[in-house]
Chain A
Amino acid sequence: MARNAVNSEGRVAVHDLVKRFGSVAAVDGVSLDVAAGEFVALLGPSGSGKTTILMAIAGFEYPTSGRVEIGGEDVTWAPANKRNLGMVFQRYTLFPHMSVAENIAFPLKMRGIGRVERERRALAALETVRLAGYGERRTNQLSGGQQQRIALARAIVYQPRVLLMDEPLSALDKNLREEMQLEIKHLQQQLGITVVFVTHDQTEAMTMADRVAVLDLGRLQQVGAPRDLYEAPATPFVAGFIGETNFLPGRAVAAAAAGETLAVDLDGGGRVAAVAVDRLAAGAALRLAVRPERVRLAPSAGGLGGTVVEAIYAGVATTLIAELGGERRVRARIAAGTGERNWSDGEAVDVSWRPEDARAFAAGAAG
């Protein structure tokens, strides 16, 4: 299949998108710019507005306010069939009364392309999704993964500039899902097509996407490369939603600007160092976020002390739960093979971390 030229044709942007259903704001002022040829995943819990945003881009839902642009053109109010997008849905939406080849050729037929050319391109698309020879089958003679590959072939056969996918893999079992993730990713790179991919599975989003847009309650929390999201979450929500995080409430000892290191008095006792994410006034309430694998444990020596209450062995890593005073619990993860000593229940332990591994969010921050 011909490689699409990567130019601004495939750029997708939404500006200040708001969509209300009655009094509920499903999408509440989201702006997102997807570059041509980029793979962006929309990630968020159920009901966070992912599908609604995708539907606004596709033309199946019209925004209450805001704009949608494709290739620099304002398409906010254009009908869905005029947007020249490819779309793959969660359920396999193959037309049951058509053969596999007819399904794939359908968009070409709608574009007035002649039969011979249609067949040629349908066959090529079948090869692209590695299902050559399946053209004459009925759609109900295919497995779930095969059906979704056909749906994919149907969505790319007319070489659209943008491909939209709404949880296309969530109906597949785990192994197949992982295989398809890589396959779609490779196909996207090969075609140079822009992809907006909705998922509620963070691993899937991190595996596939160049950038991930995290949504909660209709608001964009953070957009960034998977590594940035994990290592520098912008909000407590992102910190908690992507990977695992220990949250500890406390107060700033002195004022600090965003990015500065500051001293924190933890509620319930103990003073630790951390990096401020938000601007913090002296004495301001804050939430400290530390990843379990960044927590260090040492035999008790009068630091931030606690007791090991549980050790959970899971092969690749061991998770220890340490109780500090005042009902506070901290999880620490020790990867296998790092030569760390074994801890057992009831042992006294000192908990610490490097200042740059602890992030302090203003307590009012979303999430």
Chain B
Amino acid sequence: MGIKHKTRARSLWVINYFTACGFIELLPWVGSGYDMERFGILAKGSPRHADVLIIAGYVTKKALPRIKRIYEQMPSPKYVLALGSCPMTGGMYWDSYSTIKRIDKYIPVDVWVTGCPPKPENIGHGLVMLMKKIENGFEGH
């Protein structure tokens, strides 16, 4: 609660690192269709400036150490949003030899957004849920 959490929830900066196909439904959010800057969400190039890591889709074995590295470089408090079925359970690639099936084994995830890829409305719903969680006093990781 309180002003600290309220302001935190209104300035979520996202790291500009979108792993896979889930990113395509973030385009309407970046573009003028939904415009995420209304929520105070900005895409940032450096992990040191970012608060939110969006895992947009499948994570391969090769990409996992890099994502962990980015996650570790982000300053606390940090939040993680997972888009799509792939990070959740493996999704489409549940029997692929090269992708990670459960991302929460490696990185804690705060909000899960389902869909393949999730509709932009659903992503917005997830972002609003994350904002609500922070407003209600969630301290992040």
The answer to whether A and B assemble together is no
State the A residues within 8 Å of B (CB). none
State the B residues within 8 Å of A (CB). none
